Structure 1
């Protein structure tokens, strides 16, 4: 079997002759590839920023607690534990190891602390409280002692304290601000007592100045640096050292001091892709956490991080799904426009393809030549679009560009091969009337089956959206686009009926121009694809405008009601909605131009013949406008209404409340919908004079001699 070899001069000649439609299709492919390739990486970058903002704004520190081991000694006494600080270090290491490598990678170095209960300063002045605290992390906190020195042990390392003994002396350091507010110097005693009136004996060992006030080691108790004024009084704190921590243990009850290790998430290390494993690990730690009453040293984990990540995950997933919905609307209209461009290209080449087939060129060769041409054009355009996407986005995505590229590559060759095959088929028309009726009914049934399939797909997508929500996958995200296509199909079926009724009434009138225009419109109303492009593009433009108007207050509501994380997401989604609202009508106008160009030869041949019967050029333009206006008028009126209907049907399942803080009702920007309708109606007033000017140079004799060809 011989491999079909393209006839290269024919390929090059067809490409030169039809450079305009090919370039137009290439521009559509490049533009949609740019959007479809750039949107997912931009959404991922926005999701990363949202995760970081949520963690930064809502905290989510991990804290792990553990009771200290009992220090009971012989004969009803308590023993001083000189290596208590080392036990705290071991506890911090054990907690760090239990995190696991994935969670540990997104956390800052841990800070261990031992903080005493709140004590009252009993000097008879205004309400003031005091706490003792030991804080430690790797390499900090570093302080400079400006007076006195660090706390020292107040007894031998292995002292024994009987129960009921006088208050145990504890040394602690004060910050410069705390010492000035309390008016104490090194060696002074701070009069303290707990809630039960038990006196505590704390001696000031020295006054320190922190070398780095931003050191995370100060976060467990900010009062260590400066007195904190609150509604219940002023809070002070004293700094314990490794040497004085065992004394603090003896100064309080066995269960009054508890070891705590705090892990603070590092937002800069978090990305959206890391959220699922990190959240799962946090949940596992909390599930395996020991009881707060346990005395076996088991770890008790406390954190809000899993809740923060769960909330932001729901917001990000909703934003991704809503963005997918908008991208699908762009893809749907772009595919229809590419099909219309392929149809126009084949109409222009119909005679050449028929002639090539009649000269003996095989269908595989014809299809191969057309496929080569479309593949080169589409792939180069897609490469250009991806290159632009890479320039404006942090990466490119391939998942959404396939429908556009496949349509651009396959539609033209498929239509062209089918046209060439029909030009030479020897199928005869049967003489039997019933046989001819059967053939017509078969064609109608096939078309009805295709139309019914579109309606069923739209209904299935709408049901999937209702049942699964916006996160129900591609089918649910396709609900607005498929429903708009189904609505356009129903309107397209109603247009011929309305035109036939209007033509019947106009035939009884005395307005010949209106009759000619209605007759031409009724004759061309059977062309389904141009009308689908018009109505679908206007309907989805209206849908995008309503979506943008509804989301316009989303960032403010999200920032107030749910923190700032939903705001970056809502803002990015709003930008995508406006991009869609601008791109969709451009595609629709392009479809109008393509549909007009496809019917232009037949339309102006008819008008030229009417000119030989006395029709003036201005009247010919009015007849042309009468032919083009009904489908555009149907799109301008029916499209916004269909878009508003789709918004009311689908907005309840889009989870908009996750980004706006409330369940918003669809807000219809009627000025925008009216502007879109006006632009499409004005386009007819532009297209008709342009067509007339382009064909003005053709003489009547040339048109008449050309005949139907």
Structure 2
């Protein structure tokens, strides 16, 4: 049996006749797709910059210490170990191996140091100190000997030194700056003594110049290159002498058995750190510190010290907060966009009601009607989404169009316990953000159209019995009440989850403002019919017919829930978003950081780690804050267009009774003003209320340094409210101009305005 297929001429004809609403829906899908596809990777890039900035400024080094092998010999003596430098190399390699591959890839090659206690220069000068230092890493640091040569051994390879013997001599090299300041030449002895007055016998072997003074190894002992003022207290100056591999065993004998400190230094490489590698790196650092040997252990166990885990924990909390707040903003955008798409689908179905009814009456099955509508909406929505993805790829060159998004921060283990929607490494398209809008755009029109076609041939008649009619009305009211109760319960659950778990608790807490705004809009939609009926009753006693006609039309259309819900939700969430933007930009210390930048993910060099995050989130808030009222105004236009035929049919009939064209515009404005005024007043109040109820759970203090109280920018909110009212003054003349060429006889005969 051959299955019925779509009637292609009907599909093409409907698309041509209703190109305007279809293009508007496609535009909404494209704009939201651009934002939903571009924002996650841009925020991820901002998070990477924040991590690198935090590590660059505050990360610190990973330090690992280990006690040197015992050098005790027979007969209360110490034995010189000629291979002590090789032992330090082995210690450095052992520490590098213990890092593991993940952490090892995130740090620079290690530098091992052996540094003596601080000694006093006893030449009569004031507050001058000296240290002996040995630096070791792969291939350096290299030096050039200007005069003299590198330090040489001062005894046999296996010399034995009794305890209490005279000071063991050791040779060191001096840099040009240190030698000039101390006025020493090769062969001279440096007069040194420790804190107990024990003399140290240290001789200058030569004067060197570093091959690369920017070598990171010199940072661990800067006094080797030049005198360092204030290193050992105010007014002091520290000098240092360079030990060679050959003189390191002599330095061991020149000090007590445990006085030389052996340390391997691992410096984090910010260029190799990004947000997605923070969890394993931080987890490994914590594990190293947990398994570290105690400071009092006498064996050769490794003892790890670093503040890198704390820095990563702090920046992770800041990134988590930024991602969660960005998720909240995107949920608000998707909510309003979905409502606008539902309005566009409603407009399409109202315009197609008669053709769909005629097709159904001619015998076309509901699956075929639904299939044709689904084909049309799917092509439109998917093409719009493809355009949006292409634009997102242009805006963010690194975005992967084949990406499926990355796991949320919930995969970050102990460092990132949250379950934010925008997650680690979100360098690809987050399909979970695009899908809701595309699904609504694809399914809303076919669902509404199929239902309209089904109702056209439904043989269910209106019962003559009054109680039966009342039962039908009560059933419809109960269905609406059940739907509204479901939204209200979801809003309450989301608000409770936000209060208990914060914004990092998943999709439910992040949707709390949007659901609460929608629930509040539905409550206001309940109040609008009552208010219009009261106004109509009072105006019926007046002598102003235009006001009566306008109130009558407003009362007739006030039961339409979707247009008013869209307007109020858009106004409320716009207010909420602008208030959040004001809170993010309220910290004076972030004034430089929050300056405009070329892209959303641009990071400001040198600012605090929370600054690049706050800046990116602030730009996102402004983008959403501008997009929401535009969507709200589009919803107002779509709602007005859906009710325009009935409105202008009534106004045309009033014109046959003597109403002038200018007066019809006043009546039309009277019909459209009540929902616009309610949205302009009730929406901002609802948004401010939501800000006061939820801001305490948004972790704003992690980004701004304080928990700012909501300070709504009333100038912006007022501009949005005025725009909703002014839009009515624009829509009415446009509608009148569109229908100006229609003759009264044509309108009355066709029964359509």
- Same fold, judged at TM 0.5 (above): yes
Of residues 472, 480, 493 in structure 1, which corresponds to 2:513?
A: 480
Secondary structure, aligned partner of 2:117:
coil
Deviation at 1:432, TM superposition (A): 2.3
Moved more, 427-436 or 236-245: 427-436
CA distance in 2, matches of 1:161, 1:125: 32
Flag the 1:700–1:592 CA change in 2: closer, same or farther, 3 A: same
CA distance in 1, matches of 2:395, 2:96: 40
CA distance in 1, matches of 2:74, 2:493: 78
Q: 2:121, 2:128 within 8 Å by CA — same for their partners in 1?
A: yes
Q: 1:559, 1:565 within 8 Å by CA — same for their partners in 2?
A: no
Flag the 1:47–1:532 CA change in 2: closer, same or farther, 3 A: same
Of residues 655, 673, 679 in structure 1, which corresponds to 2:699?
A: 655
Q: 1:346, 1:416 within 8 Å by CA — same for their partners in 2?
A: yes
Q: 2:282, 2:309 within 8 Å by CA — same for their partners in 1?
A: yes
Which residue of 2 is the match for residue 51 of structure 1? Answer: 51
Moved over 3 A (4+): 557-560
The answer as to 2:546 corresponding to 1:546 is no
Which residue of 2 is the match for residue 16 of structure 1? Answer: 16
Secondary structure, aligned partner of 1:173:
strand
Which residue of 1 is the match for residue 186 of structure 2? Answer: 186
The answer as to 2:535 corresponding to 1:502 is yes
CA distance in 2, matches of 1:333, 1:555: 32
Secondary structure, aligned partner of 1:124:
coil
Which residue of 2 is the match for residue 640 of structure 1? Answer: 684
| Aligned pairs for 1:227-626 within 5 A | 227-230=227-230, 231-393=234-396, 394-395=398-399, 396-554=429-587, 556-557=589-590, 564-626=608-670
CA distance in 2, matches of 1:261, 1:324: 42
Q: 1:554, 1:570 within 8 Å by CA — same for their partners in 2?
A: no
Which residue of 2 is the match for residue 682 of structure 1? Answer: 726
Q: 2:325, 2:503 within 8 Å by CA — same for their partners in 1?
A: yes
CA distance in 2, matches of 1:223, 1:558: 38
Structure 2: unaligned runs, 5 residues or longer:
400-428, 594-605
CA-to-partner distance for each residue in 1:242-294, whole Å, 9 max, x for gaps?
00001110110001012100001111111111111111111111111111121
Q: 2:353, 2:452 within 8 Å by CA — same for their partners in 1?
A: yes
Deviation at 1:161, TM superposition (A): 1.1
CA-to-partner distance for each residue in 1:80-114, whole Å, 9 max, x for gaps?
11110000000001111111111111111000000
Which residue of 1 is the match for residue 601 of structure 2? Answer: none
CA-to-partner distance for each residue in 1:142-178, whole Å, 9 max, x for gaps?
0011111100111111111111111111100011011
Structure 1: unaligned runs, 5 residues or longer:
none
Which residue of 2 is the match for residue 691 of structure 1? Answer: 735
CA distance in 2, matches of 1:191, 1:352: 106
Deviation at 1:707, TM superposition (A): 2.9
Moved more, 602-611 or 1-10: 1-10
Which residue of 1 is the match for residue 79 of structure 2? Answer: 79
CA distance in 2, matches of 1:558, 1:286: 38
Give the TM-score, by structure 2 length. Answer: 0.93
CA distance in 1, matches of 2:391, 2:564: 32
Deviation at 1:2, TM superposition (A): 4.1
Moved more, 405-414 or 687-696: 687-696
Q: 2:645, 2:752 within 8 Å by CA — same for their partners in 1?
A: no
Moved more, 339-348 or 125-134: 125-134
The answer as to 2:38 corresponding to 1:35 is no
CA distance in 1, matches of 2:431, 2:588: 29
Secondary structure, aligned partner of 2:559:
coil
Secondary structure, aligned partner of 1:399:
helix
CA RMSD between the two structures: 1.3
Which residue of 1 is the match for residue 417 of structure 2? Answer: none
Deviation at 1:654, TM superposition (A): 0.3
Flag the 1:254–1:168 CA change in 2: closer, same or farther, 3 A: same
Which residue of 1 is the match for residue 128 of structure 2? Answer: 128
Q: 2:583, 2:710 within 8 Å by CA — same for their partners in 1?
A: yes
CA distance in 2, matches of 1:222, 1:145: 18
CA distance in 2, matches of 1:684, 1:432: 42
CA distance in 2, matches of 1:278, 1:351: 64
Deviation at 1:671, TM superposition (A): 0.5
CA distance in 2, matches of 1:159, 1:559: 63
CA distance in 1, matches of 2:267, 2:723: 55
Secondary structure, aligned partner of 1:139:
coil
CA-to-partner distance for each residue in 1:632-669, whole Å, 9 max, x for gaps?
00011111111111100110000001111111111111
The answer as to 2:674 corresponding to 1:671 is no
Secondary structure, aligned partner of 2:524:
helix
- Say how many residue pairs are matched: 708
Deviation at 1:563, TM superposition (A): 6.6
Q: 1:555, 1:568 within 8 Å by CA — same for their partners in 2?
A: no
CA distance in 1, matches of 2:705, 2:227: 37
CA distance in 2, matches of 1:4, 1:392: 44
